[in-house]
A and B are shown apart, each in its own frame.
Chain A
């Protein structure tokens, strides 16, 4: 890095710049003290920023009306995933009208690049990218999200229902 040095000793103090900068800081400090609501910064983690609901954050597995998973274990999301972070194990369902369902659905969120291809690949609106973006954890294992976390974590309040239900699709002959 090269910085142009001033010749004059006094000029080397850069006083006008420093004072100007301090002035702005003071101005904002006073402003913020007088009007806390207009403050630009947040006191994270006590305060959190509200992103748009369309923010592509942590994944959510949607559920049907009865609370069971919508996912049919077709593995299109896993096939489409460029980071190869989704792993699914399918199994036979007791109900003959349901072809198969996932007994394991894991997303390695540390590998995930949040590209949203899984959401786009899903033919049944079973996986969505939710608005959550904070993913703290104390060990590596905490970043492997399983079905319990993806579909039924407390923040989701019992799971997110997709609008079109299988029974309706079945009746409509889709």
Chain B
């Protein structure tokens, strides 16, 4: 464990720690672009210069390993000057089109120039012209003029996805990022390149031009796209959700997330959601408030509790499972609980990085809860048999949030619609359900961003998440729906949920300020 002095502060670090890592973990400020904790060291931006006692040349902090007794300083005039000029070199050929650049507001160049910049541009020559709006692939667009050639994206495709689609072509100030002939940037993790791009050179086709980032609020949550449970930040405003970005968690997802997980926000926006409950009787469809519909359906559930089957998907939180199973097994007294396994052909697959075939955030939580209530691992065939021989007359379904990963949705609806009464609880619209005949209740549920809870991921790690915002205000969560279905009234309980613990002190401060409704100026993180 070597000891060193950084800016006069003595610290002890692990063997093999670089100066920049030590500075970051000790809240010291240092300018940098090309260094990223999840990637190899490139050492090309030359901004993280620091002075090491006994070395006349400035050294880069990202490639210098701390040795015993090292005295490092990055606040001296010499180092500041180096950073100033380093930033100026970055900017001389940068178009400075911040007003029309999507990165503005969370841009590394803006942030670091404000902090370390020279504020006295001396470039009077013409800027280098490069390619604009280069289509790199199905998800990403490149603006070469804005690119500062930090090579983060190139290293990402080389080291993390190992697909190596990107490279730097040409040399000198004509260098440009590009793809090799005929091979677009098309992998399941391509949008991470947009996240790690410190400037607006790489932009996501999905998010491009849709919002200025300063109109968005963000909140940490857990992705419900698959059983990995990546930690993410959801970006939203009063009009809805706009994007999802990964949040570092060394135990779960590191710095990355998959492209499919980034599409999840689309299923929580109003246009994809049921806003009101619907009830179908022989008289036709009738629109109701969700709570009223659930209360209404309780009559059929209670009329034949033993003939009621509960179908659960792995898309709800552990707390909800616990509550719904308690209500059904103990109060209603039915043991007919079935686990709907979606895309069963690839359920156990894994792409080697993050994405798992089990496209539910909480399969593990569901199975644990079922075990706890002494429910046998019921077979789907039993449900079908029960429907055929009439022992099951009412089916209550806790349907999926992300319907796109339930390819067998149509068949399941066909099967379950054989029941006399079908109570289907779900977040999003579904044309198939809305065209059913018979006794049907369609009850809108809260999506994962509208409730607090816990997801247990594939390896049994329980992750708490906190409500982000409200999109459909009348929607119910599964616990509430279960109570109403059992004929009880909803009790408003005091809030007992736990805040999501965040690792970074800066975010905790943000949360405190948010609670007090104070405005805080916040820098983007590189």
Q: Contact residues of A with B, CB < 8 Å? A: 72-76, 79, 90-92, 96-97, 99-100, 123-124, 173
Q: Say yes or no for B212: interface residue by CB 8 A criterion.
A: yes
B residues 261-288 near A (Cβ < 8 Å) are none
Chain B neighbourhood of A73, CB < 8 A: 100, 209
Complex Cα distance A97/B143, Å?
11
CB of B209 within 8 A of CB of A79, answer: no
- Please give the residue numbers on chain B whose beta carbons come within 8 Å of chain A beta carbons, in ascending order: 97, 99-101, 126-127, 132-133, 208-210, 212, 214-215
Contact of A74 among B100, B133, B208 (CB under 8 A): B100
Given contacts A173-B126, A173-B127, contact A90 B99 (CB under 8 A): no
Docked complex Cα distance between A100 and B99 (Å):
11
> Out of B97, B127, B210, B214, which one reaches A79, CB within 8 Å?
B214
A91 touches B209 (CB 8 A): yes
**Neighbouring A residues of B210 by C-beta, 8 Å:** 90
For B97, what are the chain A residues with a Cβ–Cβ distance below 8 Å?
A: 99
Q: Given A96-B132, A97-B132, A173-B126, are A123 and B99 neighbors across the interface (CB < 8 Å)? A: yes
3 A-B pairs closest in CB distance: A74-B99, A90-B209, A96-B133
Interface contact A100-B214, CB-CB below 8 Å: no
Instruction: List residues of chain B with CB within 8 A of the CB of A91.
Output: 209
Q: How far is the CA of A35 from the CA of B212 in the complex (A)?
A: 59
Distance (whole angstroms) from the CB of A61 to the closest CB of chain B: 16
Asked whether, in the complex, the Cβ of B100 is within 8 Å of the Cβ of A79, the reply is: no
New A-B contacts (5) at CB < 8 Å, excluding given A73-B209, A96-B132, A96-B133: A90-B210, A99-B97, A99-B133, A100-B209, A173-B126
Q: Are B208 and A92 in contact (CB under 8 A)?
A: yes
Q: B399 to nearest A CB, angstroms?
A: 33
A105 to chain B, nearest CB (A): 14
CA distance A73 to B97 in the complex (A): 12
Set of chain B residues within 8 Å of A100, measured between Cβ atoms: 100, 209
Q: By CB atoms of chain A within 10 A, which of B97, B126, B208, B209 has the most?
A: B209
Q: How far is the CA of A96 from the CA of B99 in the complex (A)?
A: 17
Tell me which of A79, A96, A124 contacts B212 (CB under 8 A).
Answer: A79
Assuming A91-B209, A92-B208, is B127 touching A76 (CB within 8 A)?
A: no
> In whole angstroms, what is the CA distance A96 to B208 when docked?
14
Residues from chain A with Cβ under 8 Å of B212 in the complex: 75, 79
Residues on B with C-beta less than 8 A from A123 are 99
Task: Take A73-B209, A92-B208, A92-B209 as given contacts and tell me if A99 and B100 are in contact as well, using a CB distance cutoff of 8 Å.
Answer: yes
CB distance from B124 to the nearest CB of A (A): 11
Question: What's the nearest-Cβ distance from chain A to residue B267, in Å?
Answer: 22
Cα distance, A124 to B410, chains bound together (Å): 53
Question: Roughly how many angstroms separate A97 CA and B208 CA in the complex, as a whole number?
Answer: 16
* Set of chain A residues within 8 Å of B132, measured between Cβ atoms: 96-97, 99
Bound-complex Cα distance A73 to B101 (A)? 10
Nearest CB on B from A100, distance (A):
5
B194 to chain A, nearest CB (A): 16
Q: Are the C-beta atoms of A76 and B99 separated by less than 8 Å?
A: yes
Would you mind naming 8 contact pairs between A and B with Cβ atoms under 8 Å apart?
A73-B100, A79-B215, A90-B209, A99-B100, A99-B132, A100-B100, A100-B209, A124-B99
B134's nearest neighbour on chain A, judged by CB, is A96
**Given the contacts A96-B132, A96-B133, A97-B132, A72 and B126 also touching, CB distance less than 8 Å:** no
**B-chain residues with CB within 8 Å of residue A76 when the two chains form the complex:** 99
> A92 to B207, alpha carbons, bound, how many Å?
12
* Chain B residue at minimum C-beta to C-beta distance from A170: B129
Contacts of B214 in A (CB 8 A): 79
Q: For residue B214, which residue of chain A has the nearest CB?
A: A79
On chain A, the residues within 8 Å of B133 by CB distance are 96, 99
Please, which residues of chain B bring their CB within 8 A of the CB of A124?
A: 99
